[in-house]
Chain A
Amino acid sequence: MEYLPNILFAIALVLGIGFFARNVKKLSRNIKLGKDVDVSDNKSQRWKNMVRIALGQTKMVVRPIAGIMHIIVYVGFIIINIEMLEIILDGLLGTHRLFAPLGSAYNFLIGSFEVLALLVIVAVVIFWIRRNIIRIQRFVKPEMKGWPKKDGNMILYIELVLMTLFLTMNAADFQLQQLGADHYVKAGSFPVSQFIVPLMEGLSESSLIMVERTAWWIHILGILAFLNYLYYSKHLHILLAFPNTYYGKVKPQGQFNNLASVTKEVKLMMDPSADPFAAPAEDDSAEPEKFGASDVMDLNWVQLLNAYTCTECGRCTSECPANQTGKKLSPRKIMMDTRDRLEEVGKNMDANKGEFVLDGKQLLGDYISHEELWACTTCNACVEACPVSIDPLSIIVEMRRYLVMEQSAAPTELNNMMSNIENNGAPWPYNQMDRLNWVNE
C-alpha cells in the first residue's frame, strides 16, 4: 500500500505519454501524406529563422499588446516546465520537493515560477477578455464559429486552472511548512501564494495535506491531459512552430515555384527535334502527373505541416485585402480547411487499416470554394503577417493550378486574358507588331 501513489503516478505518466506518442505518430503519418519537397537548402538561414521567429517571437511583437502577453505566457510555459521535472521525480520516487537541497537557488526558482504563474494568469484573463468581451474582429470571423471558438477559450481555461492549482499547492505547502508538518521540508519562497495562505487559516494539518495533495495531483494530471489535448487543438503550435519556422520559405516572397512536371512537357513541346510520333519512353507508362492540387495529398508536406501549425490567430486574415473588403477569402480558413480535410483523410485511413478509401470528397469544393481562390491578389500580406511562417498563398496558387490546368475552370475574363497571351504575347488583344509604337506617340 505504501507504494500505491508511486505506482498510480507511474501508470498515469505512462498512459499520458503513451497516448501523446500515439498522437505524434498519427500527426507525422498525416503530414507525410503530402508530396515530397526539397528543404535541404539554406540550412543556416533556416536555423536562424527558427531561433529568431519561433524562439525569439520576433513576429509576435509586430502587434505589441498581443505580442507581449504572448511572450509572458510563452516564457511562463517554458520556465514553469522546469518545475515539471521535480514534480515527475517526486511522483515516481515518493519524495517531496526533491530539489530542496539546492537551497537559495531553489528558493529563487520557486519564487520566479510563482511570479510567472501570476503573470500568466493576468495575460490569460486579458486574452479571454479580448476574445469574449472586446470581441476583436479577427476572433469572431465566420470560420471561428463553433469548435474553433470553444477551443480558443478552452486553452485559456486550462491554463488558468493549472496556474491556480500550482499556486494553491504552494500555498498549502507553505502553511504546512510553517506548521512544521512531517514530510514538508522548509524550502522554496512563495511571493505570490503567501497571499492565498490566509484563506487556509484554521485548516487542520490533515485538511491542508488534503488540499496540497489534491492540487498536486490535479495539476500533474491536468498537464498530462493538456499534452494530449494538443493534437485535437489549435494549440499544437507550441510544438510545431519550431519545425514550421525551420521549413518555412527562405526565398523572396514573390518567388513561386516552377512546376518541374510542366517544365518537362514544355521542353518537349518546344524542342524542334522531338519526334511527335515517337513511341512513349518506357517510364511514361506511369500515370501522368496531376497538375496542381484538389486535395490534401496533392499538397507538399510542408504545406500540411503549416496546416497543423496554424493557431488560428487570424493575423493573416486581418491583413488580407480581399477579406478586408468583404470577400469570402480568409487565408486562415484556407489553413483550417486544409487541416480539417487532412484529419478527415487520417480518420478514414484509421478506419480502413491504414489505406485511404475514396470518400467522394476533396479539399477543393467541399472545403474551399472557387470564389475564395479567385479572390486572392497574391499580395503576400498573409505570409508576411504569420508569426510562425505559414504560407497560405502557396496552397491557393496550387489549387488555382488545378482549376486552370486540369479543369479549365478559370473565370471567363481570365481565359480571355490567357488566350490573348497565347495568340499575341500580351494579356490584351493587341498586335505584337505594335509593341514599339510608344516610341513615336
Chain B
Amino acid sequence: MSEQLKVKTMQEFMAEGKQPEILFWVGSAGSYDDRAKKITRAFVKLLNKAEVDFAVLGTEESSTGDVAKRAGNEFLFQMQAMMNIELLNGYEVKRIVTCDPHSYNTIKNEYPDLDGKYNVVHHTEYLKELIDNGRLSITGEGYKGKRITFHDPCYLGRANSVFDAPREVLAKTNADLVEMKRHKKTALCCGAGGAQMFKEPEKGDMDINVMRTQDALETNPNIIATGCPYCNTMMTDGIKAHEKEGSVTVMDVAELLANSQGL
C-alpha cells in the first residue's frame, strides 16, 4: 500500500565504497513491533525528505543488550555489545541515530567502555538538527488547534537530560503543547523500563502505565506524544484502560512531524 522508502544497508554502502552520513539504529522494537515499525517508517520518510544519506544494519543488527543488562544479565549484555561494536567498528561508523531511548542510552553511555565510541543522537535531536540546518523544511498548519502533551521517556529525559529537542520539534507542528504536572526531571515512568516490558508487573493496586496515562489525560489532550516505542505501547494500553481510545491517540514525535508534512 505504502510508497517505497529509500533504505540502504551498510553492506550496500560498503560495496559502493561509500560511507553514509549517519547510521540509523532501528532497534528490536522498531524492527519487529507492528506499532513501532510505523514510527520507523515515519522517521525514514523524514530522512528521505531531507535527503539524508543514511544506512541501516538490516539483518546484521542485533539487540543492544540494554534490556538484558537492566534485567541483570551482564554476560548477555556484554556479548551483544561486543558483537555489535565489532560490526560497527568494522564499518567505521562514526555517528548513530535511533528512535529508541534505550538503545540511545546504551550505545551512547555503556558502549564506549567496551571500545564502541560513537556520536549518538536520539531521532528527536536529529530531526531538530535537520530543521535547524534547513535541510528539512516544515510548512503548513500541521496540528494547529490540537492539544499535544509530551511524555518524557526516562532513558531520554532523566537518564540523559534530553528534554528540549522533542518539545522543539513538536512546536514545529504548530500544536498547543501542554505539560503534565510531572514532566521533564520529575516525569513518571510509563512502566516499561528495567525489563518490565517483558514481564507481568509485581502485585500492586494499579498498573504504572494506567497511572501515567491518567497524568496525561489530566491535560485534556488530543494526542499524547512520546519518543520511545516502549512508552508508546504502554501509553496506548493506558488509553485503552481509561477507555479513551476514541478521543486520544498516542503518537511518536517523528510520526507527528511526518503527518504534519503529509508524508
Interface residues of A (CB under 8 A from B): 251-256, 258-259, 262-263, 265-267, 269-270, 291-292, 319, 321-322, 324-329, 371, 374-381, 384, 397, 399-405, 410-411, 413-414, 416-418, 421-422, 425-428, 430, 432-441
Contact = CB atoms under 8 A, between A and B. Distances in A.
A436 B59 contact: yes
A322 B208 contact: yes
Contact of A425 (B44, B63, B78, B105): B63
B248 interface: no
15 contacts: A262-B78, A265-B75, A291-B75, A321-B191, A321-B211, A322-B204, A324-B188, A326-B204, A328-B202, A379-B194, A384-B185, A414-B199, A428-B33, A430-B31, A439-B5
A257 B59 CA distance: 29
A48 B116 CA distance: 30
A321 B208 contact: yes
A194 to B, nearest CB: 45
B74 interface: yes
B189 A381 contact: yes
B192 interface: yes
Interface of chain A, main secondary structure: helix
Given A381-B188, A384-B185, A405-B72, A426 B202 contact: no
Contact of B78 (A258, A324, A371): A258
A190 B109 CA distance: 58
Contacts of B188: 321, 324, 381
A426 B44 CA distance: 21
A38 to B, nearest CB: 12
A434 B79 CA distance: 21
A378 B70 contact: yes
B207 interface: yes
B161 A252 contact: yes
Contacts of A291: 74-75
B37 interface: yes
Given A254-B155, A435-B58, A417 B28 contact: no
Contacts of A263: 78, 114
Given A377-B196, A413-B199, A327 B72 contact: no
A379 B62 contact: no
A372 B56 CA distance: 39
A321 B211 CA distance: 9
B31 A405 contact: no
B186 A325 contact: no
B71 A426 contact: no
Contacts of B62: 425-426, 432
Contacts of B67: 417, 421, 427
A438 B79 contact: no
Nearest to A383: B158
B163 to A, nearest CB: 13
A411 B195 CA distance: 11
A413 B198 contact: yes
Given A321-B191, A418-B73, A428-B28, A375 B202 contact: yes
Contact of A258 (B28, B114, B185, B192): B114
Contacts of B185: 384
Contacts of B2: 441
Given A401-B72, A436-B31, A380 B191 contact: no
A432 B87 CA distance: 15
A58 to B, nearest CB: 13
B203 A327 contact: yes
Contacts of B197: 427
B71 A262 contact: no
Interface in B60-94: 61-63, 65, 67-76, 78-80, 82-83
A256 B110 contact: yes
Nearest to B161: A252
Interface in B198-215: 198-208, 211-212
A378 B211 contact: no
Nearest to A429: B32
A252 B185 CA distance: 13
B26 interface: yes
B259 interface: no
A414 B28 CA distance: 16
B211 A405 contact: no
A83 B44 CA distance: 69
A436 B202 contact: no
B9 interface: yes
B186 A384 contact: yes
Given A405-B72, A418-B68, A377 B154 contact: yes
Contacts of B207: 325
